[in-house]
Chain A
Amino acid sequence: MKFNKQLFSACFLFAAAFAPTEAAEPVPEEFGSCTVCHGVQLKGNPGTGAPRLSGLQTWYVENQLESFRMGWRGNHSADYTAEEMRAVASGLSAKQLKKAPSYVNETVSSLSFTHTDGDVDKGKALFASCSACHGATGGGNEALAAPSLLVQSDWYLEKQINDFRNGLRGAEKDDASGQLMAASVATLKTDDDINNLMAYIVHLQQQEMK
């Protein structure tokens, strides 16, 4: 994960507002290893490549754990971190699988931003096609298996878009919603498009926090 230093700094300036600590609740023992990569309160960690999980919808967590276990995700040798998650998901007990979605959903952490230099208006135009499934304000739609975009860090959303574009995700034949997403990201032609889209999603996230 390569970071623009200034943008990264901006992200930490924001996070600093939440000091001294977000670790208000202990991690249930059975999920101790989640925080190794995903960070305190599952706030995500670009250093390990692990996304923010705090606040993800329970149905989506369930869905993704199943995807990893079925090999719909994390089955591309070039996606090192998703491969790591597939191994972990495959090793979870029935009890852990049952309790994970609500644990994940209930964790609380700050959301940090790295994409502050894109063109929000251009991003808004690009978002029009996203909103069909993910909703006008990015809140997600369970009926369409489209997760909320308001709880995920932009660096990870960007990586996922690129993974969908490059066939690292959404390429398995039984992964219907993944395939749909892989087809949908074809509307994003350039890195600038993605940067602008991210700027708009960050804008939506900031609106949500107000």
Chain B
Amino acid sequence: MTGVSRRNFLNLVGAIGGSVALYNSSRAMGLIAETGPVSNYQIKPADKGAKKIVILGGGVAGLSVAYELQMAGYECTILEASHRIGGRNLTVRHGDLVDELGNANICKFDDEPNLYFNAGPARIPGHHQRLLGYCKKFKVPLQIKANANRLAYIHETNLFGGKPVRAGEYIADARGFMSELLWKGGNQGAFDEMLTKEDVENLMGYSRFFGDLGLDGSYKGTGRSGSLNDRMLEHVKVKPTQDFTEVLKSRTGLMAALTSENYDWGEPLMEPVGGMDGVVNGFARNLDAKIILKAQVQGIHNKDDGVTITYQHKGKLHTLEADFCFNNIPAHFMPGIDNNLSPEYMAALSEFKRGNLFKIALQMKERFWENEGIYGGISFTDQAISQIWYPSHDINAEKGVILGSYSWNDDENEKFAQMSLEDRIKVAAQCGDKIHPNYSSYIESGVSVPWTRMNHMMGCGAHMEPEVQDKNFAILQKAEGRHFLIGDQISQHAGWQEGALASADNALRVFSDMRTQAA
């Protein structure tokens, strides 16, 4: 069978989902090694010559390093430049500061605990065992978060009459038509040279069920798409199918069809009850580390027997001497910070590009989507907003916060970044109106987070050109003197907390090996 080669499939997914999707699919298809089990190495305990640790940046990687080292008897200090810990694990609620450079604003959502917005990471698959392990350890309650939803929509400006189509309808049609082709190919002997007669018979049988074909192998719609009538009282009256040519053209349809196929989006997904920052609060409850907020690092200098950190806090410069340093600062800031790291190391760091992911969340005065049968999940559109996420929690409540835009298109994200908050809401509203009737009339307030403009972040989704990444990661995933770089940036999973935790895990392993060898 050579019709759809594995390579072609990967190219297709790559074209739509970007490199992260490609990586994830590759892993799901067994081309790349699985995330290993959570490491079980023992961190060498603190002693006289190795006791004081400084952690630069209170993001998820930094918090986990602090926790693990604390357990092994080290004294940790976390220097965090912004007004809060958590990094891009950011849940925005009523009254919270959205610290966008040049456009700082306060969240105007109602003062209600279930009206929140996870501006950074927002979903956890079952195989992110490091993160789920911490949730368990810190008793962070989790709930199921719907990601794919067959009753959510796909919407294409120039396909299907510009009208939203239920994802399930599209998926059923796509499978039906594909299956019809397979069945007919089998029936006409197209696979006779590749397959045995028995294989062909099985393929045709499989296709019939896979696509819900008629006995003659044709696809004429299916009850899997729903029904034109009340299917509780009457026999299902099958909906007419979409046009096959349009089905093949629809990239949003393909996204909807593949959502659950992506290894990191495989159902069921989870989220902490009450907001993703439940993870950060879990760390905070269990950390003894000294955490200094609004402490901006100005210098990092390795010495033979330690590390000197210079930082500014409350208008004064301070110097902190530590035995080791774990650096969670976004790599693109490093050339602006004084340091004596080697030229090779700084050259490797300089290859990072800033990602510009953008999200907007809208408080809706009614949960109108639930009246359309949508409870959680994602609608996909070819418009600037790309996605609409519906909340899985607080079903049947009066109000809800939906994610009104989340795109992987750099140009679209940059356009949003260049708008005022009001204009961002306006564009999100206009796009939403094409999918849900009167969408804009439900909007009460909006919050946006353009990560490329967030103070002390200036980016999300750090990446390197694939051809230089391996070489540079080999340098950056090792110790540089007594300095260890951490963060999702040096994982293969930028933008995921599990990537950040894996980087911390790796750094601690290197640290422990280094200390064991020195002993």
Complex contact A36–B456 (CB within 8 A): yes
B36 within 8 A of A: no
> How big is chain B's contact interface, by range?
35 or more
Residue from the list A22, A29, A47 in contact with B335, Cβ < 8 A: A47
- At the interface, yes or no: A50 with Cβ under 8 Å from chain B? yes
A23-B310, A47-B336 given as contacts; is B453 within 8 A of A3 (CB)?
no
- Do residues B340 and A19 form an inter-chain contact, with CB atoms below 8 A? yes
- Given A19-B301, A91-B103, answer yes or no on A84-B453 (Cβ-Cβ < 8 Å): yes
For residue A178, CB closer than 8 A to chain B, the reply is no
Contact at B308–A35, with CB atoms within 8 Å?
no
Distance of A25 Cα from B315 Cα, bound (Å): 10
Q: Which residues of B contact A23 (CB under 8 A)?
A: 298-299, 310, 312, 317, 338
B500 within 8 A of A: no
| Segment of A4-12, A158-166, A181-189 in the binding face | A4-12
Residues of B within 8 A of A5 (CB): 347
CB nearest to A39 among chain B residues = B336
Within 8 A of B (CB), among A14-54: 16, 18-23, 25-29, 32-33, 35-40, 43-48, 50
Contacting pair A40 B337 (CB below 8 A): yes
Q: Name B338's contact: one of A9, A19, A44, A48 (CB within 8 Å).
A: A19
Taken residue by residue from 445 to 465, chain B's Cβ proximity to chain A (1 for < 8 Å, 0 otherwise) reads as 000000011011010000000
Interface membership of chain B positions 479-504, coded 1 if the CB is closer than 8 angstroms to chain A and 0 otherwise: 00000000000000000000000000
Q: Are A27 and B312 in contact (CB under 8 A)?
A: yes
B350 at interface by CB-CB < 8 Å: yes
Q: Counting CB contacts under 8 A, is A132 at the interface?
A: no
Question: What is the distance, in angstroms, from B312's C-beta to the closest C-beta of chain A?
Answer: 5
Those of A149-196 within 8 Å (CB) of chain B: none
Minimum Cβ distance to chain A for residue B57 (Å): 13
Please determine whether B299 and A40 come into contact, CB atoms closer than 8 angstroms: yes
Q: Is A129 an interface residue (CB 8 A)?
A: no
Contact call A48/B418, Cβ cutoff below 8 A: no
Chain B residues numbered 287-321 whose CB sits less than 8 Å from any CB in chain A:
296, 298-299, 301, 308, 310, 312, 315-317
Question: A47 touches which one: B296, B334, B344, B455 (CB < 8 A)?
Answer: B334
In the complex the two chains form, is A48's CB within 8 Å of B301's CB? no
- Residue of A13, A19, A47 near B343 (CB, 8 A) is A13
Q: Is the CB of B336 within 8 A of A40?
A: yes
**Are A8 and B333 in touch, CB under 8 angstroms?**
no
Residues of A within 8 A of B30 (CB): none
In the bound complex, CA of A88 to CA of B103 (Å): 7
The verdict on A39 contacting B335 (CB below 8 Å), with A19-B301, A87-B453 known, is yes
- Count A-B pairs with CB separation below 8 Å: 130
**Residue of A whose beta carbon sits closest to that of B103:** A87
Our pick among B332, B349, B414 for the contact of A80 (Cβ within 8 Å) is: B414
Q: Is A90 an interface residue (CB 8 A)?
A: yes
A141 vs B12: C-alpha distance in the bound complex, in angstroms?
56
Q: Is B331 an interface residue (CB 8 A)?
A: yes
In the assembled complex, which residues on chain A have CB atoms less than 8 Å from the CB atom of B331? 47
Which residues on the A side are within 8 Å of B354 (C-beta)? 47-48
Q: Is the CB of A21 within 8 A of B299?
A: yes
B60 at the interface (CB under 8 A from A): no
Q: Say if the beta carbon of A66 comes within 8 Å of chain B.
A: no
* A38 CB, nearest partner CB in chain B, Å: 7
User: Is A21 in contact with B338, judged by CB distance below 8 angstroms?
Assistant: yes
Inter-chain contacts of A80 with B (CB < 8 A): 356, 414, 417, 452
Bound Cα distance A44, B343 (Å): 17
Interface: A207 (CB within 8 A): no
Inter-chain contact A20/B301, CB cutoff 8 Å: yes
- A35 and B296: CB pair below 8 A? yes
Instruction: Specify the chain A residue showing the minimal Cβ separation from B338.
Output: A21
**Residue pair B338, A33 in contact (C-beta under 8 Å):** no
Interface centre among B332, B335, B418 (most CB of A within 10 A): B335
A62 within 8 A of B: no
Provide the bound-state CA to CA distance between A67 and B505, in Å. Answer: 47
Tell me if A77 counts as interface (CB < 8 A to partner B): yes
* A84 contact from B102, B334, B343, Cβ within 8 A: B102
**Contacts A26-B312, A38-B336, A44-B336; is A91 near B458 (CB within 8 Å)?**
no
Verify B352–A47 contact, CB threshold 8 A. Answer: yes
Taking a contact as CB atoms under 8 Å apart, the answer to whether B418 and A83 are in contact is: yes
Chain B neighbourhood of A89, CB < 8 A:
102
For residue B273, CB closer than 8 A to chain A, the reply is no
Residue of B nearest to A6 (CB): B347
Closest to B343 in A: A9
Residues of B with C-beta under 8 A to A50: 336
CA gap between A177 and B228 in the complex, in Å: 67
List, in ascending order, chain B residues with CB within 8 A of A91's CB: 101-104
Q: Beyond A36-B455, A39-B335, is A21–B301 a contact (Cβ under 8 Å)? A: yes
Interface hits, B86-108 → A, CB 8 Å: 101-104
In the complex where A26-B316, A46-B350 touch, is A12 in contact with B343 (Cβ < 8 A)? Answer: yes
Chain A residues with Cβ below 8 Å from B103 are 87, 91
**A124–B122 Cα gap in the complex (Å)?**
56
Given contacts A9-B344, A29-B315, A88-B102, contact A48 B296 (CB under 8 A): no
27 contacts across the A-B interface (CB closer than 8 A)? A1-B350, A5-B347, A9-B343, A16-B340, A19-B340, A20-B299, A20-B301, A21-B310, A21-B338, A22-B338, A23-B299, A25-B317, A27-B296, A36-B455, A38-B336, A40-B298, A40-B336, A46-B350, A47-B333, A47-B336, A47-B349, A48-B332, A80-B417, A80-B452, A84-B417, A91-B101, A91-B103
Chain A residues in the interface with B (C-beta under 8 A)? 1, 3, 5, 8-10, 12-13, 16, 18-23, 25-29, 32-33, 35-40, 43-48, 50, 77, 80, 83-84, 86-91
What 6 pairs across the A-B complex have the smallest Cβ distances?
A39-B336, A87-B102, A45-B336, A47-B332, A9-B343, A23-B298
* Further 14 A-B residue pairs, CB within 8 A, beyond A19-B340, A20-B299, A77-B415: A3-B347, A5-B347, A8-B350, A12-B343, A21-B301, A23-B338, A33-B455, A37-B101, A40-B298, A40-B337, A45-B333, A45-B335, A47-B334, A48-B333
